[in-house]
Each structure stands twice: as structure tokens, then as C-alpha cells.
Amino acid sequence: MQIVVLDGYALNPGDLSWAELERLGGVQIYVRTPPEEIVARSAGAEALLTNKTPLSRQTLAQLPALRYVGVLATGYDVVDLSAAGERGVVVTNVPRYATGSVAQMVFAHLLNLAWHAADHGRTVVAGRWSNCPDFCYWDWPLIDLNGLMLGLIGLGQIGQAVAKLGAAFGMKVLAYDPAYSLSLRERDGVRAAGPESHVELDELQRESDVISLHCPLTPETDKLINAERLALLKPTAFLINTSRGGLIDEPALAEALNAGRLAGAGLDVLTEEPPPPDHPLLRARNCCITPHIAWASKRARQRLLDEAVENLRAFLAGAPRNVVTA
């Protein structure tokens, strides 16, 4: 089998091995593939692996040898699934490989907002502590998470992992997920809300000290956190997003932060990645942005690569797994 990896650098910048993939056929690995090179590099390939390189209907129509696409991620919107299905191309993804890593990033952002560790560290390096008349100082309020309300919008695998970490910090957890069942709510001890519950999304937003987003980006959730919903949050609340940038109306969030109507935000994702230099959140008050790295711990990337290889191996054995085409 001829296998082409269109953008291998994101998954493997050099600290992982492609050896197991190479056991499955002839492999050509490209660091990145610009749009104008996708068809030429994919020509003759029976299997394509892609992270963010798009495979549109027009592109797929020019690849008659293609039988399989392995998406090196959980989200698979880079592939036109309808066109792939029409051509008999099997498309797979890799779910749940980064659950622990993403949950940890939520608390990396939250602890940084609560304790301003990075900000205080910079003042120490600048000489502030060396010249301080006292044995300590703090320039921002220091917030203990114990007893705060953690509001989760979305309670899938990652949301549940975040709930457990929140409980370990002594936080109360309130969750909203229309698909989350009562039996799971009772078992996990999470006060959860859905369409059948008396607790709705508005109430979650009003009660929570921290809101963390863990839902997919759909037409229904696009800009879910908009100016109207931001107005429901406590001015002391923090907003964390490690899910999809499009869940937030970003100009509205920047305005709320700069006006002091929200205490802070920790974001690992934005609507446009990389963001333009004039993106309003890059200079917003008390907004910490990381470059979409919650998924990228070495251990998570190794799991991703292992699962991608297993997906292709299963396809070759006639028993495909993690299939996202109809």
C-alpha cells in the first residue's frame, strides 16, 4: 500500500518514530503540504494521513487510487465526508487520545488566572522581589479554588475528566450537557443539567465562578458564548476554552474583559489559527492564550500515532475501526 502523510510535523516534529506505520507499506512523509501541492503529493496514494491539510470534494475527485483517509486528530472537518463516502473512501479519526492532557491544560490556565504565577515570576526576574522591603508581595488577588463553582458546558470524556480534577481541588461542579444521562449524573456526583432538568444553561452561567467549554462546534453552538451570555457571568468569573475557538464570540469576549465585566480568560483555541496580529484578544485584559497545545503532550501524541496506525492496520485487515464516514 502506498501511504502519504500530508502534514507530519504537527503530530511528530521529530520526537516520535514512524516505524510502525512504515511496516504497513511504502510511506512518504511531508512536513507540511500547501494547498497547491495536495493533489500532486497525493497522486497514486491508496492511503492519506492528514491532521489539518484539507481534503475537499474537488481534491478527492482527482485521487482515483485513494481508498482510505486517516485523520490524525479527533475532529474530522478537514475531510469532505460526503464526497469520501460517495467514492467509497473510508475515513477514520482518533478519539480520546488526549483526554488527560486537555483536562490538565484547563487547570494550567485556571491556576495561572487564579494565582498569576507567570506574572509574579516575571516581576521576580525583573528584580521586584530583590528590592522588596517585605518578605513577600502580590500584585493581583490570589484566589483559592476550594469551594468555587466550576461550570462545565459539555460533559463528554474530557468534561468528565475536568469534573474529577475540579472535585480534587475542592470545587463544586455544575455541568450542562443535553446528552448526559441522569444515571451518570447520580453516579458521578456531578450536579448536571440538560433539557429535562430544572437547571438550565443560563443558571449554570449565573452560578459558576469558572466556566470551562467542552462541547463540539456545531451550528447550534457557534458563538454560544456571545455578548448576551457573557452578561450573565459574574464579573469575578473566569472563562476557559480548550475545545473550539468558534464557541466564543471573540470580539465580545475582548470587550467584556477590557471593560472589567469578566475577571479573566484562558484560551488554548481561537476561531482563526494562527490568529492575525490584530486579533482583539491578543491584547485583551487578563487574557492568557496558548497556541492550541492542550492535545500535544508527547504521551498524547504517541497515543495518537499508535491509534492512527491501528486504524490503518484494521482497515487493511478488513475490519475498519473509528470510522466517521457513513
The catalytic site residues sit at: 244, 273, 292
Whole-Å CA distances, 232 to 47, 50, 186, 206, 297: 48, 40, 27, 6, 34
The Cα 162–Cα 290 span in angstroms is 18
How many Å apart are CA 66 and CA 82, to the nearest integer?
Answer: 15
Asked if 145 and 129 touch (Cβ cutoff 8 Å), the reply is no
Contact (CB, 8 A) for 92 and 322? yes
14 dihedral zone (left: phi>0; alpha: psi -120 to 50; beta)? left
Is the Cβ–Cβ distance between 300 and 98 less than 8 Å? yes
What distance in Å separates the CA atoms of residue 113 and residue 110, rounded to the nearest whole number?
A: 5
Residue 123 CB: number of other CB atoms within 10 A? 15
Sheet holding 26-29, edge to edge: 26-29, 2-5, 47-50, 68-71, 90-92
- For residue 102, give the H/E element and its range: helix 99-115
Give the dihedral sign, CA 86/89/95/101.
negative
CA distance 129 to 260: 28
Task: Give the whole-angstrom CA distance, residue 188 versus residue 14.
Answer: 40
